[in-house]
């Protein structure tokens, strides 16, 4: 019977303590909204009261680049689904049940994997534990009838309190202990501890109070039937510290915060511009409202006459230019300049192609980590089912990132080049189809139709002006 002290259950990994503030900041930056506004992301003015500060935070809009970056990465990664060959698992009666409801909460395996990837993008890592309900059944048939099968649980780094890796005799690192924060409600925490031998669950009162004398209460204990900890880490990018990854938001979140502060300055300038400050002497009756009349003594010194102070719009232009520079920095860091670009952003064809190549390389790296993590998940699923996974999971390594508008212009020029070759023109038609249609099955059909035509099709029509054809030179 494994009995753990309060000190053990609440102990955090050294890297947990180092990274917690970053994890929280990245999550708030991704979520945006009121949590972000209330998170003291604004730089405080000198002599600014609490009320003034909170009001300014409330009135400052959030331009959420962090969420945009994470969602764009995710959309590209899952645009083409991975190829999954389940091998001998194909005949498993509970395979489809797991695929359709991977977490026993109604979410499909694809949805859980996508959430896992997005969490890894935000935090740098995301953990998945593949468990199986410890329900005693009399037979395999009863297990099937009750749908007793493996299921996935995701844990963000904030909920992975402690972990330990040890190098085995064959040189591989093996996870030997894992402490998970399952639930936290009104300072009552549910903590589960995995070891190679057993799985124990505790209730810990006053979890956040480091010096509390309350004793933890064990609520469950069972042997670890696998003899290993069924946990998988999805890295966004690996760092030099095992169990810690590199977030996509490391630099983006700081730039977003700077933009948020710039927007606050803009809001202040707009307010001051619309409501200029009145300067007057105490003995002069004056106001600055619309339609107001200022009455002054006839013998008042001209130097004492009231006047208005109104900020110049040049300051506003300078701040907007500063914001645009920071947005460009985000685009450059994430290799998304060509994807997130506005109409005002003009790039050469070579620059665009280079950006697409860099983004493709980044996506390919992410896909490799996803492929590795998913293979480990299926191996654990097979082990829980008393089988061995001999299938294959393949994520795409190329994401066909192109500037389709430029491609179509180029293809139009190729069609008009005068090359007297049906094979050449048919190939151009196929490339046109690929720039317009994003469906492999339909593309195959179109390719067949193009090859079957004796006369080339897809010719761009001659441009017209006011219904008349333009004579070609």
Residue 119 clears pLDDT 50, i.e. is over it: yes
CA distance 196 to 215: 25
pLDDT at 290: 47
For residue 227, give the DSSP letter: S
Q: DSSP string of 1-53? A: -----HHHHHPPPHHHHHHHHHHHHHHHHHH-HHHHHTTT-SPPPTT--HHHH
Percent of the chain with pLDDT over 90: 48
- Dihedral over Cα of 239, 244, 250, 254: its sign: negative
Model confidence at 303, pLDDT cuts 50, 70, 90, reads low
Each residue's pLDDT tens digit, 73-90: 999 999 888 999 999 898
Q: Rounded to an integer, what distance in angstroms lies between the CA atom of residue 113 and that of residue 249?
A: 20
Strands 173-185 and 160-167: antiparallel
Cα 30 to Cα 133: distance, rounded to the nearest angstrom: 34
Q: What is the largest CA-CA distance in the chain?
A: 107
Strand partners, 85: 392
Q: Which of the pair, 27 or 170, is modelled with greater confidence? A: 27
The residue among 380, 4, 381 whose CA lies nearest residue 161 is 4
Taking only the tens place, the pLDDT of each residue in 174-188 is 999 999 999 999 889
Q: Whose CA is closest to 219, among 239, 204, 197?
A: 204
Question: Kindly report the CA angle at 290 between 289 and 295, in degrees rounded to 5?
Answer: 65
Local structure of residue 309 (DSSP, 8 states): E
Compute the distance between CA of residue 97 and CA of residue 336 in angstroms, rounded to an integer.
Answer: 38
Q: What is the DSSP letter of 295?
A: B
What average pLDDT does the structure give for the chain?
82
What DSSP string runs through 163-179? EEEEE-TTS-EEEEEEE
452/298 Cα distance (integer angstroms):
97
């Amino acid at each position: 019977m494994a009995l753990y002290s309060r000190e053990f259950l609440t102990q955090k990994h050294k890297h947990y303590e180092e990274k917690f503030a970053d994890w929280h900041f990245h999550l708030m930056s991704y979520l945006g909204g009121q949590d972000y506004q209330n998170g003291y992301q604004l730089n405080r003015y000198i002599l600014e009261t609490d009320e003034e500060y909170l009001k300014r935070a409330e009135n400052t809009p959030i331009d959420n680049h962090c969420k945009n970056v994470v969602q764009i990465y995710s959309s590209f990664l899952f645009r083409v689904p991975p190829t999954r060959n389940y091998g001998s698992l194909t005949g498993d009666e509970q395979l489809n049940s797991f695929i359709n409801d991977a977490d026993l909460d109604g979410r499909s395996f694809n949805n859980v994997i996508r959430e896992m990837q997005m969490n890894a993008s935000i935090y740098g890592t995301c953990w998945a534990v593949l468990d199986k309900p410890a329900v005693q059944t009399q037979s395999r048939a009863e297990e099937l009838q009750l749908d007793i099968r493996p299921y996935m649980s995701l844990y963000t780094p904030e909920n992975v309190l402690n972990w330990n890796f040890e190098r085995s005799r064959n040189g591989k690192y093996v996870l030997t202990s894992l402490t998970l924060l399952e639930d936290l409600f009104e300072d009552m925490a549910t903590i589960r501890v995995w070891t190679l031998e057993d799985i124990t669950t505790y209730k810990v009162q006053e979890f956040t109070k480091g010096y509390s004398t309350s004793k933890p209460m064990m609520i469950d204990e069972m042997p670890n039937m696998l003899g290993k900890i069924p946990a998988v880490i999805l890295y966004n990018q690996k760092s030099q510290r095992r169990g810690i990854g590199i977030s996509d938001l490391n630099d983006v979140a700081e730039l977003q915060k700077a933009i948020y502060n710039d927007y606050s300055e803009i809001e202040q300038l707009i307010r001051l511009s619309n409501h200029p400050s009145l300067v007057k002497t105490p003995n002069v009756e004056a106001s600055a409202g619309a339609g107001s009349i200022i009455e002054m003594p006839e013998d008042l010194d001209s130097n004492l006459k009231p006047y208005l102070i109104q900020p110049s719009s040049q300051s506003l232009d300078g701040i907007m230019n500063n914001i645009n520079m920071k947005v460009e920095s985000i685009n450059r860091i994430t290799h998304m300049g060509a994807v997130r670009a506005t109409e005002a952003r003009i790039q050469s064809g070579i620059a665009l192609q280079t950006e697409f190549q860099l983004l493709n390389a980044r996506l390919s790296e992410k896909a490799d980590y996803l492929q590795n993590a998913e293979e480990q998940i299926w191996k654990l699923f097979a082990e829980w089912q008393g089988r061995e996974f001999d299938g294959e999971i393949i994520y795409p390594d190329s994401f066909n990132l192109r500037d389709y508008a430029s491609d179509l212009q180029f293809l139009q020029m190729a069609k008009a080049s005068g090359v007297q070759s049906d094979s050449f023109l048919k190939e151009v038609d196929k490339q046109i189809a690929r720039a317009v249609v994003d469906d492999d099955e339909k593309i195959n059909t179109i390719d067949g139709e193009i090859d079957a035509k004796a006369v080339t099709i897809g010719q761009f029509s001659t441009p017209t002006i006011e219904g008349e054809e333009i004579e070609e030179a």
